Every structure is written in structure tokens, then in C-alpha cells.
Amino acid sequence: MTQIRVGIAGAGIAGLTTALALSDRGIASTLFERASELSEVGAGLQISPNAGRILEGLGLTTALDRAAVRPEAIDMRSGRTGEPIVTLPLGDAAARAYGAPYRLVHRADLQALLLEAARSDPRITLNLGAEATGVSQSADAASLTVNGTEHSFDCLVASDGVRSTLRDAVPGASPARRGGRTAWRTTIPIGAAPRDLPHERTTVLLNRAAHVVIYPVRGGRLINVIVVIEEDWDGPDWSAPGDADILRRRFDADSTRYVSRFTDIELNWTRWCLTEVDPRGNWVHGRIALIGDAAHAMVPFLAQGAAMAIEDADILASTLAAGGPVAEALQSFEALRRPRVTRVWRTARQAGQIYHLGGPMAVARDLTMTGLGGQRLLERYDWIYGWQPEHGASG
């Protein structure tokens, strides 16, 4: 059993999964979370098989299945007419091929089930209302200052999200950059959603300079809607209540007729400024590692941000459990993760460009997708969904 002491700052998806993955390998950890209670932050999350398999490996299959909807498919449609472009099949065959189903969850439900598992785990100490404000390290230890008290560990994991302040403790870490796009998120009670909307699958509507992603969460009782538009919104915060009239004006033209069925419903929208952290910056310094969005926040067009955080947690736990000096284990974590995360990060950016094409380019895109067909389109993502930890990295 490896007897190292690990401190984790931030109990989001990355931090909680890291604590559970460490415990799975016999390593105890202490989590510090700024929020005094973990509430309904965020909206839907698509949890693809590469991440689902890791969560299942941590004994969370039943809890996940209770919280999640398993979509039959992803439908890509025209945002003007609603006409189908292509359907990517995600049913049982895909679950068998990738070793886990594709799942749709509410972020709060995923965080709650991770939290419950962490709370009932004697190797995990959870501190809420515990804001980490400073980090320091010596040759022998790394220290985290929380509410004015210093806590010393062998290894410190900074999983404090895209707005990470602990990132400053890693020289050469990439800064967070806002990218000229906003994501508008809301949920619609199932009874208020347009009746002809397929409720058991993910629907993606493609428009010039915009797209919309719609899928069920909470056992199908709510429909999660994300509208991404290109706009230079520079609010004081990175998320805020969104004025629905801005969306309505954007989608009132004939070219966006189908989308307007969602923006016309009276709903509470939250507006997020999409923000990236370039994964080519440093993630590790001595005994300190950045993981998840703190290290490499990406645009959500492949639905892989939380998935990459979950993969990080698995690999970090494995490299630490392998023994040896902590600093070397963190270096090998970074070396193992960077190529894959960088490829996913870039591919997510490209997906955004493709989704937002207009005019003849959009027509060409739709014809190509239709011609390729859903199965072959899905196979293009085999490297994401079918990923296995590299030999020697799994615990």
C-alpha cells in the first residue's frame, strides 16, 4: 500500500474522481472545496464511454444508471428546417463496442453521486467551505493554505476548475482565455418541450455561426438545452443569467426557424463565456499537479471536458500508486496525458468550426455527413470513446 498523503483543492468532477481513484488504489486523500454545499451548478453533461468505463470501474455503475439517460443516438439536424442530416447510433451495439454506454446526466446528479461515494469512503476526508488560497512547496512537502491554516502533503492536486487561482503555482501554466463564443444553458420540463422533439436521444441543430444541443436528463423529466452563439460578451463574471431576448433576436430569421422553437419558450437561461486553457502549457511543478479544466479547459463541442477530467483522475491515481518519487510520478502523469488531451482539445475546436459553417460550405458539410452515414461518422470517434489507459498506467 502506498503511504503518501495527497491534498486535493476543488471537489468538482476532477477532484472527486481523483479522490475515489486514489482510494481505489489504497491511497488516502483530503479534499478541500470552496463551496459550503455542492448545489445545482451547471446543467447537462454527456458522459461518453471512455469516462463511463472509469466511473464504472470505481463501483459507480448502479448509481450512474439511476441518474442517467442512455440515448439511442445522436441526431444531427438542420437548424433551419429540423430535417435530419445524419444519425450516429449509440445503442447497445455502441455500448458493447466501447465497453460502456453513452450516458446523459445532470451535472448536479453526477457530482452528488461522486460526493456520496466520497463521503462513505474512510480514505477520503472532505472539507466543504474550505477555500484554498495559497500553495507552497519544499523538497519534502507541498502545502496548501485553507481558511488561513496551512496543510502539508506529499502531493497537491489543483482541480479548481477553469478559473483556477492555484494555476499560478505552476510556472509556465497556460492562462484561461475567453474565445468569442457564449453557451446559453437551460432546462425545459418535459411537458413544455416541443412535442415532436425525440426525447430519448441527443439532437444537434446546426446553423450558421450557432448550434444547439438538446438532450434529456433526470430520468427524462427535463430536457437540457445548450445554445452556442458567436458573440464577444465580456461580462464581469464568466456565467450570468441570460436575457432571452438576445437569443430570440438571434434566431428570428427564416434561416433559424426550427431553433426558434426553443428560444421562444419562456425559460431561465444562463449565459457562459466559453473559455479555454491551452493544454500545451505546464501542468506540473514539483509536487503540484493541475488537472481537469484547471490544466486544459476546452470548448464543449465534443462533450469531452468532464470526460478528460475523469481520465486525468484515473491516470494520476495510477502514476502515484506506482510508487517512486512524487515529482517523477507527476511528470509521467503529464507525459502520458498531454498528447491525448491536446488531440481532443484541437478536435473539439475543429468541431466548432464545422458546426458553425454557413452557405455553400454548410451544404457541402451536410452532404458529406449524409454520404458518410452515422456508423462511419461515429467510428471517426473510436479513438476518443474506445480509449484505454496506456500499458503501465492503469492501476
Ligand X SMILES: Cc1cc2nc3c(=O)[nH]c(=O)nc-3n(C[C@H](O)[C@H](O)[C@H](O)COP(=O)(O)OP(=O)(O)OC[C@H]3O[C@@H](n4cnc5c(N)ncnc54)[C@H](O)[C@@H]3O)c2cc1C
Backbone angles phi, psi at 72, to 5 degrees: -75, -30
Minimum CB separation from ligand X for residue 116, in Å? Answer: 16
User: Which one of residues 136, 143, 165, 370 is an interface residue with ligand X (CB under 6 A)?
Assistant: 165
160: contact with ligand X by CB under 6 A: yes
From the list 63-71, 153-161, 328-336, 365-373, the region that binds ligand X by CB under 6 A is: 153-161
Q: Where are the alpha helices (DSSP H) in 264-373?
A: 293-296, 305-321, 326-355, 359-372
Does the footprint of ligand X cover residue 115 (CB under 6 A)? no
Grid cell listed for 314: 484515473
C-alpha distance from residue 1 to each of 154, 224, 320, 391 (Å): 15, 43, 11, 21
CB 123 within 8 Å of CB 58? no
- The answer to whether 64 contacts ligand X (rule: CB under 6 A) is no
Which one of the listed residues 215, 258, 355, 385 is annotated catalytic? 215
Min dist CB 149 to ligand X, Å, is 13
Please name which of 197, 380, 178, 153 lies closest in space to residue 286, comparing C-alpha atoms: 153
Residue partners of 306: CB distance under 8 A and separation at least 6: 13, 45, 47, 51, 107, 110
49 contacts 99 by C-beta, under 8 angstroms: yes
Residue 260: exposure state from Cβ atoms within 10 A (0-12, 13-18, ≥19): middle
Contact between 174 and 293 under an 8 Å Cβ cutoff? The reply is no
3-state secondary structure of 53: helix
> Among 11, 94, 205, 290, which residue sits at the site for ligand X (rule: CB under 6 A)?
11
The verdict on 35 binding ligand X (CB under 6 A) reads yes
Identify the bridge partners of residue 125 per DSSP, sorted by sequence position.
30
Among 63, 90, 132, 348, binds ligand X (CB under 6 A): 132
Sequence-separated (6 or more) residues with CB below 8 Å from residue 197: 203, 214, 223
Distance CA 213, CA 203 (A): 6
**Residues with Cβ < 8 Å from 316, sequence gap 6 or more?**
18, 21, 157, 289, 291, 330, 333
Decide: is 74 part of the binding site for ligand X (CB under 6 A).
no
Q: Which of 6, 20, 45, 68 binds ligand X (CB under 6 A)?
A: 45
247 binds ligand X (CB under 6 A): no
The total of other beta-carbon atoms located within 10 Å of residue 105's CB is 23
Q: Which listed residue (24, 32, 344, 355) binds ligand X by CB under 6 A?
A: 32
Nearest approach in angstroms of CB 168 to ligand X is: 11
Task: Provide the angle, in degrees to the nearest 10, between the axes of the packed helices 49-57 and 305-321.
Answer: 40
Q: Which stretch binds ligand X (CB under 6 A): 157-165, 187-195, 200-208, 386-394?
A: 157-165
CB of 297 to ligand X, least distance (A): 6
User: Per CB under 6 A, does 272 bind ligand X?
Assistant: yes
User: Is residue 34 within the footprint of ligand X (CB under 6 A)?
Assistant: yes
Active site residue 215: yes
**Closest distance of CB 330 from ligand X, Å:** 17
Q: Give the interface segment with ligand X, choosing from 112-120, 155-163, 197-205, 241-249 (CB under 6 A).
A: 155-163
Q: Pick from 128, 125, 190, 176: which is nearest to 294 by CA?
A: 176
Residue of closest CB approach to ligand X: 12
Closer residue to ligand X in complex, CB, 45/223: 45
**Least distance (Å) from ligand X to the CB of residue 47?**
6
Q: Which of residues 289-328 bind ligand X (CB under 6 A)?
A: 292-294, 300, 303-307, 309
Spatial CB neighbours of 207, under 8 Å, sequence gap ≥ 6: 79, 80, 255, 256, 259, 356, 358
Per CB under 6 A, the list member of 69, 110, 113, 183 interacting with ligand X is 183
Q: Answer yes or no whether residue 145 interacts with ligand X by CB under 6 A.
A: no
Q: Which stretch binds ligand X (CB under 6 A): 6-14, 174-182, 315-323, 382-390?
A: 6-14
Q: Using the minimum distance from each CB to ligand X, give the nearer residue, 303 or 377.
A: 303
Catalytic residues: 215
Which residues would be at the binding site for ligand X (CB under 6 A)?
A: 9-15, 32-35, 42, 45-46, 131-132, 159-161, 165, 183, 185, 226, 272, 292-294, 300, 303-307, 309
